[in-house]
């Protein structure tokens, strides 16, 4: 049975993606707020929040997004703009989404106005910061409209939400969710799937308790779990893996790993449902659009409000352990994978470099990964 945190966050993600409001309660600091994802807020969204709470909403953003808007952002990881009375949904979306600010519609252009907004530095584990985490879980832009409910005791928050037909999520559920969802992965299918580069291959599927997208293990040959297993952690890339996009080297890395593991006699590819460094396909496409306007891959993610890399590798560690594999020879150029696997109980005995020839479309992308992303050559 899924835990309370898993059920609550799963429902919250669905509500936010539909454009609905949810209630977030911070029991630690005695706060309750009505929140809504900025990118899907409707024309009457701000007015509805004012009507329900009696307070003027603010727009919560990450420091990366604020830095794209202001020349001198604060130091806090999460920051909020107090929205002026009468602000439109278009104004909010322009602040939240750099793609909107590229539009030619003068109603969306409000550069001078947003530079005069007052910025509030939010605490790292406060209500606003944890609301941003839900937006990331939902693969939405990390930008939330937050209207605090004044004078409401924390103990009264659930009844307040129920009376208005709204879901309530406690900040403790948001904190617990990533670890719980990784621990909850269960093996749901195991089938022989011959591949062009590895005819002796099984695909094992692992599903999280919230019923979300499955992660896969491609078990090639008969790897010995008592010895270090040749392993590749590969994050899902629809454009590269399936469509053979030339903007990245993902497809080549996947097929190259399968070939090398088969040639070595056995190993495993962990195929993680973490599209676009775990910002999701839509946000990856937004990042591509920004790259076409001159930003590199890291700055494009930061313009959208994300960190350079949002991926976590605890699910990969859980899958490896479920397969009986605790020692690996890891095919990667990314030191973050080495560090995270080690932190979650997997002994990385060796790093196997995994580099492919660039092309005219991805040369700058690969150069950025090595020069700014810390990837190893």
Q: Which residues are catalytic?
A: 309, 311
Q: What CA–CA distance (Å, rounded) separates 250 from 240?
A: 5
Residue 113 DSSP SS3: helix
DSSP 8-state assignment for residue 293: T
- How far apart are the C-alpha atoms of 113 and 190, rounded to whole Å? 56
The secondary structure of 157-187 as a DSSP string is: HHHHHHHTT--EEEHHHHHHHHHHHHHT-EE
Residue 261, C-beta contacts closer than 8 angstroms, at least 6 positions apart: 198, 220, 221, 230, 232, 267, 268, 269
**Is residue 308 within 8 Å of residue 298, measured between CB atoms?**
yes
For residues 219 and 327, give the distance between their C-alpha atoms in angstroms, rounded to a whole number.
Answer: 15
113 within 8 A of 69, measured Cβ to Cβ? no
- Cβ-based neighbours of 126, under 8 Å, separated by 6 or more: 26, 29, 31, 78
Residue with tokens 């005791």: 153
DSSP bridge pairs for 192: 202
Report DSSP state, residue 243.
Answer: T
Q: Which helix (H) or strand (E) holds 341?
A: helix 335-343
By C-alpha distance, which of 335, 310, 323, 345 is closest to 269?
A: 323
Tell me the CB-side half-sphere exposure of residue 213, using CA atoms within 13 A.
12
């Amino acid at each position: 049975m899924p835990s309370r945190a898993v059920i609550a966050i799963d429902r919250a993600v669905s509500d936010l993606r539909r454009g609905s409001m949810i209630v977030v309660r911070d029991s630690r600091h005695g706060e309750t707020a009505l929140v809504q994802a900025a990118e899907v807020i409707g024309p009457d969204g701000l007015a509805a929040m004012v009507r329900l709470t009696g307070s003027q909403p603010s727009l919560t953003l990450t420091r990366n997004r604020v830095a794209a808007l202001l020349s001198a952002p604060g130091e806090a990881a999460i920051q909020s703009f107090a929205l002026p009375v009468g602000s439109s949904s278009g104004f909010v979306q322009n602040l939240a989404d750099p793609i909107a600010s590229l539009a030619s519609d003068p109603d969306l252009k409000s550069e001078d106005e947003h530079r005069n907004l007052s910025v509030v530095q939010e605490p790292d584990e406060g209500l606003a910061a944890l609301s941003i985490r839900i937006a990331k879980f939902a693969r939405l832009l990390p930008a939330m409209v937050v209207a605090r409910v004044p004078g409401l005791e924390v103990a009264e928050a659930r009844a307040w939400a129920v009376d208005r037909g709204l879901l309530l999520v406690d900040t403790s559920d948001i904190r617990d969710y990533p670890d719980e969802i990784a621990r909850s992965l269960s093996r749901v299918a195991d089938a022989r799937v011959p591949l062009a580069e590895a005819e002796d291959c099984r695909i094992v599927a692992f599903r999280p308790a919230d019923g979300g997208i499955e992660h896969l293990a491609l078990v090639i040959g008969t790897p010995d779990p008592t010895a270090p297993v040749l392993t590749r952690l590969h994050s899902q890339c629809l454009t590269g893996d399936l469509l053979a996009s030339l903007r990245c080297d993902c497809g080549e890395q996947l097929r190259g790993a399968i070939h090398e593991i088969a040639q070595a006699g056995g190993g495993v590819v962990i195929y993680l449902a973490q599209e676009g460094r775990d910002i999701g396909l839509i946000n990856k496409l937004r990042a591509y659009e920004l790259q076409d306007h001159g930003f590199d891959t890291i700055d494009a993610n930061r313009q959208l409000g994300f960190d350079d890399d949002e991926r976590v590798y605890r699910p990969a560690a859980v899958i490896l352990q479920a397969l009986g594999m605790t020692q690996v020879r890891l095919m990667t150029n990314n030191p973050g994978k080495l560090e995270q696997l080690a932190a979650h109980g997997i002994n990385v005995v060796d790093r196997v470099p995994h580099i492919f020839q660039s092309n005219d479309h991805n040369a700058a992308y690969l150069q950025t990964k090595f020069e700014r992303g810390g990837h190893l050559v």
